[in-house]
Amino acid sequence: MLTISDLRQRGLLLFEAISGSRAYGTNLPHSDTDLKGVFILPEAEFYGLEYVPQVANETNDEVFYELRRFVELLLKNNPTVLELLGTPADCVVFRHPLFESFRAEDFLSKLCRQSFAEYAAAQIRKARGLNKKINHPEPPGRKSVLDFCYVTVGAGAQPVGQWLAEQHLAAEQCGLANVPHLSDLYALFVDASPTATLGYRGLVRDAETSQDVQLTSVPKGEEPVAYLSFNRNGYSSYCRVYREYHEWVQKRNAERYQNTVQHGKNYDAKNMLHVFRLLRMAQEIALTRQLQVRRPDREFLLQIRRGEFQYEELLQMAETLLEQVEAAFATSHLPAAPNQLAADHLLVQVRRAWYAQAAH
């Protein structure tokens, strides 16, 4: 399997650059150094069965695209790949002369409205999700199936725990049987005898670990004292949210989380920074047909990073900017999409020239 070290040692790199916050000019002293680049597979490997579209390190902060994959993503106006063509000079690590043929202006199109804006919308969703997790954390103790069960009382219903307490009953004295044609509704029977001669199995097998209510055999002639409804959908949704929250707690970037807590605005400032970076870049592309990777609005973006805005204020600003981006693309003279034939010709031309050089 190819590694980034292999690409360098075998001389397969066409382009290598520092990307991310250092290219945007929004890096802080502790910021990581991300690397992106383009490579060309050797001729024999390119024509073979195992085409390698990209190579990355374990943390995915170093990613190199094979030439064909690179052009495919350019034709989709993928922001991450387009930005390589606007890399500031001080972030270029290596540029082969053949890479000079790739210019951002040859690929910019109205597809940027979708690719940049949708990427920004995804960052807003991530920021909203984090905001919800911070402000509405799941308690450490997990709810059980019984927390989603209700017992009929007259024309209404009570939580099963409350009903059992008022009836001076234990869950183990109860038995449940299906009610035909009605899903998640059960006839509830009670064995009130001190010796529990009816052999009811209780409402659940284990209150802490059970994922469902428990059915039991009911002797003929016994009458239900009430009916129990299990809110199965509610329980499933709760389990999903609970699981996602605790997975987030385990996997969250500790440094970014502390930054979020410290600035006190309860949103992921880095996500929101990228929302405005992407939307403003999209607006610039529509209005000027230029790709500005090194951000002229660096100080504004760093204000967001420092948490100097309220969360709702940023969301409102983002919505307004999104409307402006839509309007700018509606009147833009950019082509609807990049010229695929020209891109295909360039791809073939560069690859042939590379292999010709390698042959000598």
Phi–psi pair at 108, nearest 5 degrees: -65, 135
Domain residue extents for the chain: 1-101+338-359, 108-137+253-336, 145-237
Architecture of domain 1-101+338-359 in this structure: 2-Layer Sandwich (3.30)
Higher-scoring residue by pLDDT: 151, 266 = 151
Can you give the pTM of this predicted structure? 0.65
Distance CA 204, CA 213 (A): 5
- At residue 262, the pLDDT reads 46
Tens-digit pLDDT profile for residues 45-57: 898 888 899 999 9
Higher-scoring residue by pLDDT: 126, 339 = 339
Report how far apart, in Å, the C-alpha atoms of 60 and of each of 66, 114, 125 are. Answer: 16, 24, 22
Tens-digit pLDDT profile for residues 201-210: 999 998 788 8
63 sits in which H/E element: strand 62-66
Q: Across all residues in the chain, what is the average pLDDT? A: 88
Q: What is the DSSP string of 35-52?
A: EEEEE---HHHHHSS---
